Amino acid sequence: MQTALDALGSGHSDAVEAPRYATYAWATLAAMMGVIVWGAFVRATGSGAGCGSHWPLCNGEVVPRSPTAATLIELGHRLTSGLAALLVVGLVAGAWRGFPRGHVVRRSALAALVLMVLEALIGAGLVLLEHVAGDASIARAWWVSGHLVNTFLLVAALTLTAWGATHGARPRLSGSGTLGARLAAALGAVLVVGVSGAITALGDTLFPAATVAEGEAQTFSDTAHLFVRLRLWHPVLALAAGVLVLAAAQHATRVRRGPRVSRAANLVLGLLVLQIGVGVANVSFLAPVPLQLVHLLLADLLWIGLVVLAATALAAPPAR
């Protein structure tokens, strides 16, 4: 946080301050990626109840004595989340000191702070209501879905903050024609797939299968839990979303000019292909924890790439 304040409070020109702030903003986004992946590790290892039903304390203590492995995993996630929150506070302070009123950096940084607070409250709700560890209730699915949506929106806000500080441009929906609608459809589709993926991953943790045949039997059983049934629907939704993402990326390169749009579109398409490949491997190898984490990280990177593509295309001049 102090880095951002120093970078933007030194009295230098905006030409010097903006790059330093942009570096800090991208670093904050990277740190948030680490926190998100660590949170998935908490879920995958069943460590969500490592601190009991206590929040913000851990098992009723500030520093738990004789902690278990689950306690250390959960406590580590809480500490890194707190550090990430401080980074976001620094992001807002720097935005207010280095950018004018109404700038996209100010707005997105403030949105990130609000979403960070909501993220903490949702995490607290999951713990206090005991929607962790072995809980397989539908209520947990709703909380997990809300958590995923809020996380993706938080990542989008951080991405726009870093992008705006890097390029100094302003995305505009006016005059974009169908481009805005196509990009919105692609973003919405990826968000839906993310929710289904989070619940599917939860099902893999709560109802593990020892073999592919056992996994298929669970999925197609008449008594299968909702979390297990999504093993079938998640890939279908992912492929449908992939088509929308592909269409949006290709349309963006046709109607908006500039190498930045082409690079962003190519990045999105590359991440899409990689994510589909990892998804197939994840199903084939019965969702081992390391592969689950890679799958989640790629999903977040694809989301970031799509946000960058949307911002870049909407800020670029129309192609003739």
Are residues 283 and 243 located together in one domain of the fold? yes
Instruction: Return the closest-CA partner of residue 42 out of 19, 73, 80.
Output: 73
Percentage of the chain lying above the pLDDT 90 cut: 63
251, pLDDT greater than 90: yes
Write the CB contacts of 28 (distance below 8 Å, at least 6 apart in sequence): 84, 87, 88, 90, 91, 158, 162
Q: In the prediction, which pLDDT does 14 show?
A: 47
295 and 272 within one domain: yes
Cα dihedral 27, 32, 34, 35 sign: positive
Question: What does the DSSP assignment read for 189-253?
Answer: HHHHHHHHHHHHHHHHHHS--SSHHHHHHHHT-TT--HHHHHHHHHHHHHHHHHHHHHHHHHHHH
pLDDT band (50, 70, 90) for residue 11:
very low
- 201 and 64 part of one domain: no
Q: What is the pLDDT of residue 48?
A: 83
* pLDDT score, position 317: 85
70, 75, 78, 83 alpha-carbon torsion, rounded to 10°: -130
Instruction: Give 77-82 contacts, CB < 8 A, sequence gap 24+.
Output: 77/35, 77/38, 77/39, 77/41, 77/42, 78/51, 80/34, 80/35, 80/38, 81/35, 81/39, 81/119, 81/120, 81/123
Q: Cα dist. 20→3, 25, 100, 305 in Å?
A: 9, 9, 16, 22
Same domain flag for 175 and 211: yes
Where is average pLDDT lowest: 72-86, 163-177, 274-288? 163-177
Q: Rounded to 5 degrees, what are φ and ψ at 211?
A: -135, 165
Pairwise CA distance, residues 293 & 283, whole Å: 13
| Residue 303 shares a structural domain with residue 222 | yes
Per-residue model confidence (pLDDT) at position 301 = 97
Instruction: Decide which of 95, 130, 165 is a domain's last residue.
Output: 165
Q: Which amino acid is at 241?
A: A
Task: Please tell me the predicted confidence (pLDDT) of residue 112.
Answer: 98
Other CB atoms within a 10 A radius of the CB of residue 210 amount to 8
Least-confidence region, from 51-55, 140-144, 148-152, 198-202: 51-55
**Rounded Cα–Cα distance for residues 278 and 270 (Å):** 12
What is the model's pLDDT at position 216? 77
Question: Residue 121: which of 93, 138, 146 has the closest Cα?
Answer: 146
- At residue 189, what is the residue type? A
Considering the domain architecture, whether residues 161 and 300 belong to the same structural domain is answered as: no
Of the candidates 244, 245, 262, 263, the residue with the CA atom closest to the CA atom of residue 254: 262
Looking at the fold, whether 304 and 192 belong to one and the same domain comes out as yes
Please give the average per-residue pLDDT across 243-248, as a whole number. 97
Do residue 161 and residue 251 come from a single domain?
A: no
How many domains in the chain?
2
Q: What is the pLDDT of residues 274-314, one digit of tens each?
A: 999 999 999 889 889 999 999 999 999 999 999 999 999 99
Angle at 307 between CA 161 and CA 233, to 5 degrees: 135
**Domain termination residue (choose one: 150, 165, 180):** 165
- pLDDT at residue 117 above 50? yes
In the structure encoding, which two tokens stand for residue 36, read together? Answer: 């998100």
Instruction: Give the amino acid at 249.
Output: A
Do 158 and 23 have their domain in common?
Answer: yes
Q: What does the pLDDT read at residue 13?
A: 38
In percent, the amount of the chain with pLDDT more than 70 equals 95
User: Does the pLDDT at position 176 exceed 60?
Assistant: yes
Do 154 and 13 sit in the same domain of this protein?
yes
Average pLDDT score over the chain? 89
Of 120, 144, 165, at which residue does a domain stop?
165
Same domain flag for 161 and 179:
no
Residue 12 above 60 pLDDT? Answer: no
How many Å apart are CA 201 and CA 279, to the nearest integer? 11
State pLDDT tens for residues 57-71. Answer: 887 887 888 789 999
Q: In terms of residue numbers, what domain contains 27? A: 1-165
Say whether both 145 and 236 belong to one domain: no
pLDDT at 58: 87
CA distance 262 to 54: 48
